[in-house]
């Protein structure tokens, strides 16, 4: 009988927590508990064997998800996947310092969750599928099918994310200006800074905060 990895879900939106729980059980995980605060999360960590934590960054209360993760890491080296509906620069900087296994931007689908959980627990299957553009040992890109691959698994990208990543790769290691990006992605309609930044944040999260650089006041660059 195989061992089902135990999962703790820390999420204060009950509908989201339930949806994640259903996804996780379909993927073969055992959901130990669903809690809505840092206090309850730490109680679970201290009383049960937990293999993986899905942590909402912005849980309500005096202690947010990042501070809760920091507290957990002081005592146990449990892999943590952050989940969040937003990703401003300050939050991202704090989150990355805790070295999470992944950072999922809501809404995400079961496929994205599967890839993140597999990476976090090192339970991915070995695959020979590697794209023709290799970023590092984890990431590659299949230009023929416009697919981003993480350890052989396809990472779901929206149409705009694919276009942006393709544009960056065409100019890899060189800067793509804000003007070039906006003209390429929103040729027929006007975009705004919030739309652009949201797109960049989503793609950056899917690249696990590697490769994609912001060149202040100029644009973006993918360095591989």
**According to the 3-state scheme, what is the secondary structure of the chain?**
CCCCCEEEEECCCHHHHHHHHHHHHHCCCEEEEEECCHHHHHHHHHHCCCCEEEEECCCCCCCCHHHHHHHHHHHCCCCEEEEECCCCHHHHHHHHHCCCCEEEECCCCHHHHHHHHHHHHCCCCCCCCCCCEECCCCEEEECCCCEEEECCEEECCCHHHHHHHHHHHHCCCCEEEHHHHHHHHCCCCCCCHHHHHHHHHHHHHHCCCCCEEEECCCEEEECC
Question: pLDDT, tens digit, for every residue of 16-35?
Answer: 999 999 999 998 899 999 99
Name the pTM for this structure.
0.67
Structural domains in the chain, sorted by start: 6-121 (3.40.50.2300), 133-222 (1.10.10.10)
Question: pLDDT, tens digit, for every residue of 151-203?
Answer: 778 888 889 999 999 999 999 999 999 999 999 999 877 777 888 888 898 89
Residue 87 binned pLDDT confidence (cut-offs 50, 70, 90): low
């Amino acid at each position: 009988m195989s061992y089902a990895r135990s999962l703790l879900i820390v999420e204060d939106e009950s509908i989201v927590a339930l949806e994640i729980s259903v996804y996780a059980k379909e993927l073969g995980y055992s959901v130990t508990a669903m809690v809505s605060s840092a206090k309850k999360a730490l109680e679970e960590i201290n009383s049960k064997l937990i293999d993986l934590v899905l942590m909402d960054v912005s849980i309500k209360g005096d202690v947010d998800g990042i501070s809760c993760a920091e507290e957990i890491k002081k005592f146990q080296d449990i892999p943590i996947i952050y989940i969040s509906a937003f990703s401003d620069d300050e939050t991202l900087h704090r989150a990355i310092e805790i070295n999470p296994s992944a950072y999922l931007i809501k809404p995400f689908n079961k496929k994205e969750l599967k890839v993140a959980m597999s990476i976090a627990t090192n339970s991915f299957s070995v695959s020979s599928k590697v794209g023709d553009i290799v970023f590092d040992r984890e990431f590659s890109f299949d230009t023929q099918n416009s697919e981003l691959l993480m350890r052989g698994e396809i990472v779901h990208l929206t149409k705009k994310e694919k276009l942006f990543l393709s544009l960056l790769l065409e100019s890899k290691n060189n800067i793509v200006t804000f003007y070039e990006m906006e003209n390429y992605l929103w040729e027929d309609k006007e975009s705004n800074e919030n739309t652009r930044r949201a797109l960049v944040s989503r793609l950056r999260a899917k690249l696990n905060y590697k490769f994609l650089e912001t060149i202040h006041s100029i644009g973006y660059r993918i360095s591989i």
